[in-house]
Amino acid sequence: MRKIQLIAQRELKERISSRSFLLTALLGPLFVLGLVYALFSLGGSEKQHWNVLIMDKTEIMENKIAPKQDPRFTFHFINEFVEYDQFATLEQFKDYDLAVLINEKIISNKQVIVSYRELPSESIQRRLIYHVERRFEEIMVKQFTDLEVSKFREIKQSMNFSFKNTSDPKNEINHKAAWVGYVFGIGILLFVFLFGMTILRGVANEKSNRVIEVLLASVHPRQLLTGKVLGIGITALVQFVLWGLIIGIGLYLFRQTFFPDLLDPTLLVEQMSQDLAQQALDEFALTARNYNDFVDLVYRDIHFTNMLLFFVLFFLGAYFFYGSFFAMIGSAMGSESDGQQYIIPISIVLVLSILSGYYVIYHPQTSLAEILGYLPFTSPVVMMIELSRGFSEGDVWKIYFSLFLIFLAGFILFRLAGRIYKNGILQFGHRLKFRLIIRWLKKS
């Protein structure tokens, strides 16, 4: 055990002190944060304030639109119609971002045309529609009823539209959550492939430069392989922890500095009159969701504790499972071309694992999806998807059973890799054939 510990420490120190580890540990999460920042920023409009020209030829709106000013808009009224090319080119209109045409028959045809220089975000569009519709509510109530506007809004009942998938009428399939699990699953395979290749290169280098002959003079082959795999595995966990810390701190800073108001529905309420507060709250809650679904996903929908815990567990299982294959190839190869040849099948398996996750997202109820969740090759991706969707109380056992299977398969493969390592690590110049591998596996 002492020898395994020393070998693992040597591998850990060698990997952590390398320049590639430091660059990956720092630049990797910074790249992820940059991508997240871009998605946050692009979710809303690029402009924070919009100058709106309202062309109201009949002056039906009486030069007013909202009881209190919305900080996102400044409204300007004219009693004439401006052609599109004039709005686009004339100097007098260059400071206006949007133009709203209130036609003469708007009460009957309910048609409003908005022209723009830059397409507003969904949030801005819905805010503008909200203000215009509420102003016309006041106009309609004044012209056609004896009610007060506040009384009309008390009895007004908005219709709620709910879109149902015929294959999922209860909306039990959450594709947005599934994509979160899919990203976590791909992250597992990415880390496994990177550090699996590290195992292969480490074994192959020691074999080619004959350092292995010196090492085997004082340590058993199985101890050497175990220490190497453990050391590289701990390196992977250290890098994962660094990634998690940097990305976590970055997301916190984003929330506190760059995007402090994205999820705060009370800000708009303070800007509206008291009798409209609840309706304003409902409207802002809707526009906040439309502002950027990605923001809502990151800060509200992802259960990071569960996801990160099972990410680590499935990574460990997948690492020992796939890492055993890489160790087999590194110790059995007779030349560098052998290793490249046998890397291709493992890469194909990893790609198929990624594709299996895509299949499970859109076909979660099929028997194949159930089977893919238990196969060690595909379970890391599939089970992260199922975890992000959520298990019912009676199905929680599935994720633990899948973990058991992948660790069991990893243990068996690691034992087989130990035999190949023991019998093939000192062999050079041979052609790698399945018959030779079978012969090594039969030796104790």
Weakest-pLDDT range from 11-20, 44-53, 382-391, 423-432: 423-432
- Give the end-to-end CA distance of the chain in Å, rounded to a whole number: 21
**Given pLDDT bands bounded at 50, 70 and 90, which one contains residue 382?**
very high
Mean pLDDT of 227-241: 88
| Model confidence at 155: pLDDT above 70 | no
Burial 270-298 (b: 16+ CB within 10 A, else e): eebeeebeebbeebbeebbbbbbeebbeb
Computed over every residue of the chain, the mean pLDDT equals 78
pLDDT at position 292: 53
Long-range own/partner contacts, residues 386-395 (CB < 8 A, 24 or more apart): 386/181, 386/360, 387/181, 387/306, 387/307, 387/310, 388/174, 388/177, 388/178, 388/180, 388/181, 388/184, 388/302, 388/307, 389/173, 389/174, 389/177, 389/178, 389/181, 389/364, 390/174, 390/177
Give the residue with greater pLDDT, 263 vs 85: 85
Q: For the segment 259-291, what is each residue's pLDDT rounded down to a tens digit?
A: 655 544 444 444 444 434 444 444 444 444 444
Residue type, 116: Y
Q: What 8-state DSSP symbol labels residue 74?
A: E
pTM: 0.65
* Alpha-carbon gap, residue 202 to 230, rounded angstroms: 13
Average pLDDT over residues 31-44: 73
More confident: 217 or 74: 74
**CA–CA dist 222, 419 (Å, integer):** 8
Cα three-residue angle 148-153-155, rounded to 5 degrees = 100
pLDDT tens digits for range 167-190:
555 555 556 778 888 888 998 998
Flag whether pLDDT at 40 surpasses 60: yes
What number of helices (H) and strands (E) belong to the chain?
18, 4
pLDDT at 435: 74
Architecture per CATH, 50-155: 3-Layer(aba) Sandwich (3.40)
What pLDDT was estimated at residue 428? 67
pLDDT value at position 115? 87
Task: Say what the pLDDT of residue 258 is.
Answer: 65
Domain locations along the chain: 2-39+171-262+293-442, 50-155
Residue 62 pLDDT exceeds 80? yes
What was the pLDDT predicted at 14? 83
Per-residue confidence band for 294, with pLDDT thresholds at 50, 70 and 90: low
Q: Which amino acid is at 46?
A: E
- Segment 432-444 shows an average pLDDT of 71
Sign of the dihedral through C-alpha 178, 184, 188, 193: positive
